[in-house]
């Protein structure tokens, strides 16, 4: 089980690192945030967080500005958020979040990956109660100058539900997805910077798989996440 855990962790870190460096995906995240709450970062916590995440990956300012402008739709491109639910090999559950200007292309691609690599598309709503939607903030430990207990107490009033300090380099904060903006503002009010912030879907009942099973599941995950329209894929893998 130890080897399987290490394999999964290394593989997951590799995938997220690969995805986070893709400027088109970051650009879509910014565009969606601007479309939802307006193009002024000062008035839109989700946009501020999207920009901070993009800057952490060295996304050029011109790209960020262009992504914000796209939210107005003046360039004729309309980006829609679409979610798909699926099963991977060995019954692993997948929640796939997409941002696309062509839903027909996107669903055709997702179906193709699933069919070729042992997956199955599920009816939307099938996994509604299998995942909880959370606001997640990643904070480099090296930038935190206050005592962690004091930090936790200070942020409870801003919606903090859980603080995970088990990582050697990062601190992870979790809150209900509806408290995303409030927790972001709470961090800003005490001058704590974060390197990433987004909404994630966390499995309510994670399942452990063997290393051999994980290798099959990962092949499908890698293929799906390589798609330009896919923003994130969440699983019930422990």
What is the location of CATH 3.30.70.980 in the chain? 80-129+204-235, 131-202
Q: What is the pLDDT of residue 56?
A: 77
Domain span(s) for CATH 1.10.10.200 in the chain: 2-70
Query: CA–CA separation, 209 vs 92, rounded Å?
Result: 9
For a pLDDT cut of 70, what percent of the chain falls above it? 89
- Relative to beta strand 80-87, strand 160-164 is unpaired
Q: What's the topology of domain 80-129+204-235?
A: Alpha-Beta Plaits (3.30.70)
For the whole model, what pTM was predicted?
0.80
* Mean pLDDT value across the chain: 88
What are the CB-based long-range contacts (under 8 Å, 24+) for 73-79? 77/101, 79/28, 79/31, 79/32, 79/35
- For domain 131-202, give its CATH number from 3.30.70.20, 3.40.50.300, 3.40.50.10490, 3.30.70.980: 3.30.70.980
Give pLDDT, residue 17. Answer: 55
pLDDT in tens, 143-189: 898 899 999 999 999 999 999 999 999 999 999 999 998 998 899 89
**Phi and psi, residue 20, nearest 5°:** -70, -20
Which stretches does DSSP call E strand in the chain? Answer: 80-87, 93-100, 120-122, 131-140, 160-164, 170-176, 196-203, 230-235
Q: Where are the alpha helices (DSSP H) in 44-132?
A: 45-56, 61-70, 103-116
Superfamily of domain 2-70: Integrase, N-terminal zinc-binding domain (1.10.10.200)
- Cα 94 to Cα 96: distance, rounded to the nearest angstrom: 6
Tokens of 134: 């959370």
pLDDT in tens, 91-107: 999 999 999 989 999 99
The residue that leads in pLDDT, 74 or 105, is 105
For position 14, what pLDDT does the model report? 58
Phi, psi of 7 (to 5 degrees): -60, -45
Residues in CB range of 230: below 8 A, 6 or more apart = 25, 96, 97, 98, 110, 224
DSSP secondary structure letter of residue 135: E
What gap in Å lies between CA 19 and CA 167, rounded to an integer? Answer: 21
Query: Per-residue pLDDT tens for 126-135?
Result: 998 999 999 9
């Amino acid at each position: 089980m130890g080897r399987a855990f290490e394999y999964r962790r290394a593989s997951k870190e590799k995938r997220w690192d690969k995805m986070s460096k893709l400027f088109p995906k970051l650009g879509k995240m910014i565009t969606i945030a601007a479309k939802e709450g307006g193009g002024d970062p000062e008035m839109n916590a989700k946009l501020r967080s999207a920009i901070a995440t993009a800057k952490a990956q060295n996304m050029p300012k011109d790209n960020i500005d262009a992504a914000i402008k796209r939210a107005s739709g003046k360039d004729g491109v309309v980006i829609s958020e679409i979610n798909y639910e699926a099963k991977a090999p060995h019954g692993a559950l997948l929640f796939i979040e997409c941002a696309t200007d062509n839903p027909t292309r996107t669903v055709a691609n997702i179906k193709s990956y699933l069919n070729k690599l042992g997956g199955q598309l599920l009816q939307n709503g099938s996994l509604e109660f299998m995942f909880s939607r959370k606001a997640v903030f990643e904070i480099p430990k090296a930038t935190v100058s206050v005592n962690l207990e004091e930090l936790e107490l200070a942020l409870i009033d801003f919606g903090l539900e859980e603080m995970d300090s088990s990582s050697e380099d990062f601190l992870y904060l979790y809150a209900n997805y509806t408290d995303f903006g409030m927790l972001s503002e709470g961090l800003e009010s005490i001058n704590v910077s974060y390197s990433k912030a987004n909404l994630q879907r966390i499995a309510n009942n994670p399942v452990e798989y063997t290393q051999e099973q994980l290798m099959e599941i990962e092949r499908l995950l890698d293929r799906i996440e390589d798609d330009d329209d896919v923003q994130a894929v969440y699983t019930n893998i422990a």
